[in-house]
Structure 1
Amino acid sequence: MDSFTREYTRNNTFNILIENLDYYKKHAMYKNEELVRTTVINKLGLPSGDRFIYEYASNPLVVIDLVRDLAFKFDWREESKIAFTVLKSIEQSPGSLIRVRKVLPSNYVFGHELKTKNSLYCFANGFPYLITRNSRRHTGETELSELTLGNILREEVKTISSLSLILNYGSCNIPINYAYCDIPEFLFHKSKNFNEETPYRAAALLHIFSFLQPSRYESALIRDTKYAFRTEDIDFKKIRLYNNNFKLRDKLALRTAFLLIKSKYLAYSPDYIFMEDACANLFFGLEGCLRLINRRFFGDENFNFKKTIQAIERTFSYAPGYSSMLEDAYNLRVNIVHPESKFNDKWFPILYAEDYHENLEMAADLLYFALTGDFLKNEA
């Protein structure tokens, strides 16, 4: 690139940034919105003809990301500083934050659309997406993401657990990864609710970011057919009851559901190489289920394993084996957690496929009852 072209590109980009700053501050349209969109689309090589890609090409988050990338390449320090300032202002803006994820290819992916007040599991162009509305009032923090070593939000834990744990006893998958996009709701859409446009907006936004950050968003461009959807009849009443009773301020419920979600992700990793880790997270999650059951029956009393098991025996008459399964799970957990255990004279824990799948089904049963007071099995 010659010096004239570089300087022209810099001035043009700087003007876009200034207009973007004005756009964000006034919540008004660009003076030269067509120029902004054309510049972004041409620079990124975005496909033409998609209404929502065209619209989001002038979105502040898109423009800022592009400018920061160019500023890094050409050492534009002033532009980079301004872009960073605007980005922090956007991230700390009041109101809800929309998180968009594309669900990854897998067997037994949930094949129906599901809409709640703050989440939408949906399809665009044949691909599944998970979209959640997340509020800072649940955390009391400026930053919504509370996990330093994870990237899942409370609303996502609630929605994913309902689809991948409660639904058919964990027979459906909702696999996700780090390729998500966070955007303030007022920059995502002008509607107050999710509607028929929402899936296509999500697809367009992730598509644009796959061009901006290809290494992170590579999975958003997946075009193969490795999805195997489960589309049999679903008892949506049970899913709604679970979602209505899952409180985002309930730390024990969040932690329990999160552990069980992680166990599924590990269990379905290639070649079952992380099955021991999957079982460990499952057993930790089972303890959470027991504590939730204890809380339902005995309120704020200190957790008592024996009393809780007895309560489960009385309540789950259709599953008389739960008490012995829970005791076995405790012993298996000891084998996994402790390098040296009186229950095992080998250097590795003795685990079988049934140890995972049967205990996962039991965990779904216990979690559902603990939160709703109802039974997951219709014949109960």
Structure 2
Amino acid sequence: MIEVNFDGIVGPTHNYAGLSIGNRASFANAGAVSSPRLAALQGVGKMRRMLAMGLGQGVFLPHVRPNTDWLRTLGFNGSDTETLASAWMSDRALVANAMSASAMWTANAATVSPAPDTRDGLCHLSVANLSTMPHRASEAGQTERQLRLAFPDPRFFRIHAPLPAAFGDEGAANFMRIAPRSGGPAVEMFVYGEGQSGGFPSRQHRTASEAVARRHGLSPARSLVVRQSDAAIAAGAFHNDVVAVANGHVLFAHEAAFADPAALYAALAALVPDVVTIEVPADRVSLDTAIRTYLFNSQLVTMPDGGMTLVLPGEAQENAAVWAWLNELIAQGGPIDRLEVVDVRESMRNGGGPACLRLRVQVDADALAAIDPRFLLNETVCARLEQVITQEWPESIAPEELGDPRLWDRCARARSALTEALGFGTDEL
């Protein structure tokens, strides 16, 4: 199996409107001036680093923003400019939602079950409905369109439409896969929340997790539906990938990530005898620190030589407690044998680290060849992305500029320049 990480390009409307309830970083930076150009270049820089490490790298494009079609469903009408101006006069928060660049966090785009795990031997992708937050709930249609374009061959892929909005589904941010190192069938883990914790909503519903497992044709015996701890949600772990990450036969998690960790670890050990669970104790790295530094929102990846690397945000290195614990982990000689630090500070300020920016898709060589090559990266394409972003993306966006028609026009032109540079037709995306 070959793993390709599909990262979202940070869109030209990247701004700090503080729309994400329960996301501490999003709220803390609400109202600040954002740097869309720098954010997008940092994202491409991370993709370049992954390519240099010998890993497969893909890309998803920013969604159409401003989302005037969404505003029209709310009763605003006229030309795009008239629709936006009317909405701005009526309710500025609606325009902020319509300008959101949150589709860059492609860990929320879908849940992916690789072909070896499914009954029909296809790679299944279920588009997330993201129904809890208005600015994200509007993404599903454009996400589905990109997924169907990127993975078009029915011999290898099956794309599922979003679940009904009543059942909140946040995609791969609440999903993990554990595969035995010795070979054999994997275990797919779906993590959900219950009710509200600390006044914050639980975004992933148990019913949604169970539905995705059924529609993907997973073996019930090798599917675990696991409850996230209330403490984690209340502390700001709005998705499970803020407190846990898995790769291969390794689960890396905070002590307070799950409601019943002992039961989970026992179940995993029974299904995957060679599983390695690395639990970070709260007395070394507090839950608050883990969430502030996005220690677990790192990419845990298998290198071409078989070792594992933890790709961390710079904030993790800057925290003395986190960095000391990580270096002790490496010194112990376990399965994680390398730390790689990336700068995605602009994404982090809006509540998304390295793992939020990518959707993992595992395929064999034949399925990889069937992916639309326009969604796959190499150094030449990265350079093309950087050129367009440098020329077209706004350098900064202040909150009051969200109502400026000149910004609306510039962001629309920037996206068009990007899609053209990558070879997409006007009507494809």
Report if TM-score (shorter chain) is over 0.5: no
Q: If you compute each CA radius of gyration, which structure gives the higher value, 1 or 2? A: 1
What is the TM-score of this pair, normalised by structure 1? 0.23
- Greater RCO (CA < 8 Å, at least 6 residues apart): 2
Which structure shows the higher strand fraction?
Answer: 2
Which structure shows the higher helix fraction?
Answer: 1
What is the TM-score of this pair, normalised by structure 2? 0.21
